[in-house]
Amino acid sequence: MASLLLEQLASKAAVDDAVRGTKDRVLVLRFGRASDTVCLQQDDIVRSGWIYRTISSMSSVLTLCELAQLARCERELSKMARLCLVEVDQVPIYCQYFDIALIPATIFFVNGQHMKVDYGTPDHTKFIGAFRTKQDFIDLVEVRQAQL
């Protein structure tokens, strides 16, 4: 599963360290649950752009070729962004702070500052749902990166 391949932050201290420690790159925090299919779909888009294939409700199969593709895509994105997963049940204080009621919720930081973005919704503090394509996600990260 792509979720297993992305950096996971399991505590408030880990999230704080990521926000404070990520310099000159966009920090992307995806709040959600590893068991949620929409979160898994977004994780796959973030990782590779490949569509998440469900074999059963909680598992997927990746070939060695797909894993190689994932690794190449991760290196490409790592030049401009640090991608982290945050389980909503493990860090409830941030769920309250960012008013996260729906998952997945994606929040962007640049040099420790929370970035508000107009997604065409009333809430500019976070993106709710999965990105449709890998390119949609990359375009948004590139815009954030250009503001550095």
At 58-79, the pLDDT tens digits run: 333 333 333 333 334 456 677 7
Q: Which tokens sit at 56?
A: 């059963």
Say which residues have a Cβ less than 8 Å from residue 84's Cβ, sequence separation at least 6.
Answer: 6, 7, 8, 9, 15, 18, 27, 28, 29, 30
Q: Which tokens sit at 61?
A: 């199969």
User: Domains of the chain, with CATH numbers?
Assistant: 2-146 (3.40.30.10)
The reported pLDDT for the residue numbered 130 is 72
What pLDDT digit, counting tens, does each position of 79-94 carry? 788 888 888 989 999 9
Q: Does residue 6 contact residue 94 with C-beta atoms inside 8 Å?
A: no
